Structure 1
Amino acid sequence: MNVMITGATGLIGSRLVRILAGQGFHIKALVRDKKRAAKLVSEPVEFITGDLNNEVALEEALRDCKYLFHLAADYRLWVPDPESMTRTNVEGTRLLMQKALEAGVERIVYTSSVCVLGTNADGSPANEDASSSVTDMISPYKKSKFLAEKVVMDMVRDEGLPAVIVNPSTPVGPGDSRPTPTGTMVLNAARDGGMFYADTGLNVAHVDDIAHGHLLALQKGKIGRRYILGGDNLSLKDLFAMTARITHKPGPKFKVPQPVMYSAGFTGEMLARLGLIKNPVATMDSVRMASKKMYYSSDRAEKELGYTHRPATEAVQDAVCWFKEQRMLN
């Protein structure tokens, strides 16, 4: 049975490929660079060279496929040209969904994000019905993901697109080769104990649980319905302390005041705009995002899909072990 996947070399996508291969699927993956993809994905995969704005490549990748997993996205905290991110995340998603309809794909799992959802003012975990609008989206990335999910939802309603939406929280675990922004925080905390922390919080889930949730969404999800794929809600201080315990480091000690964070964000952006650095450690958007706790509940996925998640400490432990194996802790 043929299945097409975008984002196969990403953290969640690469783990999903392992699961799909184990289920006996013939996997077709849209990638920009076949040689690089072959280094990151060890399972048997038919690679199609192209991107989300390449109609010919999309048609080739979708040909004879029964299912589609769309995980690919331009995910950067700092982007000098927000329009390039919109072209990939929004217009690329629109084109892919149109081509999937034309190809007769029977079922689609679209990977959105919890970042498009609202949060509860009292800090309690929010669910899939937490309201938000595009004006609530702080960064270009969040805005693009909000608009891309809307494209999918509108096509489900207006064109009969057979898509299920999953909203992963923060994936942590093995295979984070880039690494992701959260993976970078875990890696740094593993190195130095995460001595400095912001007063914020996030939902942490093992990447393999999120990847398996994608398969469950394909098998059991309702068309047009959202499912949060998450794990444990943790303060950033607790996440750093958990990581420090694993690597026997001192642990977090100093909470960074917001004025200092804003100063760091402003400085990082200015240096990036001047071309003096490529990827600032902090930006104004990242500081604004850190001003609220991103806590979520996976109750719907647990009840309707049979989704389960292991404790966050296992996700961090597996991430640290993988970083050690890759010699990234040196």
Structure 2
Amino acid sequence: MRVFVTGASGWIGSAVVPELIGAGHHVLGLARSDASAATVTAAGAEVLRGDLADQDALRAGAAGADAVVHLAFVHDFSRFEASIRTDAQAIETLGAALEGSGKPLVIASGTPAVPGGTATERDGAAPGSPAAGREANARAALAMAAHGVRSSVVRLPRTVHGEGDGGFVARLVAIARDRGVAGYVGDGAGRWPAVHVGDAAHLFRLAVERAPAGSVLHAVADEGVPVREIAGVIGRHLHLPTASVPAEEFGFLGGILAVDQPASSTLTRESFGWEPHRPGLLDDLEQGHYFA
């Protein structure tokens, strides 16, 4: 298949593109800058210049493709509502280009937090929660199944880890260095789901190839790693004490660290035969590349 990928040069996209190419697919990657275009080209994909606000580029990329994987998102937490609106418009444009074709549209989203429980593929984000906006966009994509689009959603956990990760765990390492303590919020019992970026990329490919219209998949390997254990590994590698610290010490991450948010991928594994086999989060941390 010819697969159009937004966010092709990003953290997830840089793993998804070679996963697709390795399976024999041709990839067209959206790139907003010269540096992004060079990354996409180096991965063996064709480049389409544009960004999420470029509706003509999105429409052209989707119209000429056999499948679309939408990974791009504006990660500006100071203007999160604007990022949600940009994402919603991009999904609408991509879906309209595929309407009536039966072609796959795979959207990236996030696993929800279920108070007192473990989130499954059947659960949704609580109204008013930080994840509710992206959940609404994902639901809009799934609704396109009624208009001849084989739409599906791959939900990613809080941490998609691996060498080169610049996300939440890398941020925790940087904060520990700055503050002189590997910290957690409260008693540190709150759990984060996690997956290695390579295992997540494999699930995106399975979704492109096999996911029925309206499917929700969870790219979760570790159902829930206690934040206190993450801090413990960080402290040991940085030779720092590990302790509970006020949530505000972590900036926007403080609220996320304080929430217990395990997630399951049992239904995804049963339906698609997806079995993550790369290192779990703690084992990946122990390899040392986050501290280089």
Greater shift in the superposed pair: 125-134 or 303-312: 125-134
Determine which structure has the larger strand proportion and give its number.
Answer: 2
Question: 1:196 is matched by which residue type in structure 2?
Answer: G
Question: 1:57 is matched by which residue type in structure 2?
Answer: A
Structure 2 match to 1:85? 83
Q: Is 2:251 aligned against 1:282?
A: yes
Partner Cα distance (1:194, 1:23) in 2? 44
Partner Cα distance (1:67, 1:290) in 2? 36
Alignment match of 2:265 (pick from 277, 294, 298): 298
Structure 2 match to 1:98? 96
Q: How many residues align?
A: 285
Structure 1 residues 103-150: Cα deviation after superposition (integer angstroms, max 9, x where no partner): x46112111111xx24141xx422122343432x13xxx243122112
Shift of 1:98: 1.3
Structure 1 match to 2:230? 239
Structure 1 match to 2:114? 119
Structure 2 gaps, min length 5: none
Partner Cα distance (1:298, 1:13) in 2? 21
Structure 2 match to 1:269? none
Q: Is 2:213 aligned against 1:223?
A: yes
Q: Cα RMSD (Å) of the superposition? A: 2.6
Partner Cα distance (1:294, 1:85) in 2? 23
Partner Cα distance (2:127, 2:203) in 1? 26
Q: TM-score, normalised by structure 1?
A: 0.77
Structure 2 match to 1:267? none
Pairing 1:140-159 to 2, within 5 Å after superposition: 142-157=131-146, 159=147
Question: 1:308 is matched by which residue type in structure 2?
Answer: E
Cα gap change, 1:173/1:289 in structure 2, threshold over 3 Å: closer, same or farther?
same
Q: TM-score, normalised by structure 2?
A: 0.86
Partner Cα distance (1:194, 1:39) in 2? 36
Partner Cα distance (1:216, 1:223) in 2? 13
Cα gap change, 1:59/1:90 in structure 2, threshold over 3 Å: closer, same or farther?
closer
Cα gap change, 1:149/1:83 in structure 2, threshold over 3 Å: closer, same or farther?
same
Q: Equivalent pairs: percent with the same residue?
A: 22
Partner Cα distance (1:252, 1:307) in 2? 38
Contact 2:182-2:235 at 8 Å conserved across structures? no
Shift of 1:55: 2.4
Cα gap change, 1:299/1:255 in structure 2, threshold over 3 Å: closer, same or farther?
same
Partner Cα distance (2:177, 2:259) in 1? 24
Pairing 1:1-330 to 2, within 5 Å after superposition: 1-39=1-39, 42-76=42-76, 78-79=77-78, 81-101=79-99, 104=101, 106-114=103-111, 117-121=112-116, 124-135=117-128, 137-138=129-130, 142-157=131-146, 159-169=147-157, 170-176=159-165, 179-186=166-173, 195-198=182-185, 199=188, 200-232=190-222, 233-245=224-236, 247=237, 249-250=238-239, 252-256=241-245, 260-262=246-248, 264=249, 281-283=250-252, 286-309=253-276, 310=278, 311-317=280-286, 320-321=288-289, 323=290, 329=292
Contact 1:164-1:217 at 8 Å conserved across structures? yes
Which secondary structure state, in structure 2, belongs to the residue aligned with residue 230 of structure 1?
Answer: coil
Which secondary structure state, in structure 2, belongs to the residue aligned with residue 44 of structure 1?
Answer: coil
Partner Cα distance (1:210, 1:203) in 2? 13
Structure 1 gaps, min length 5: 265-280
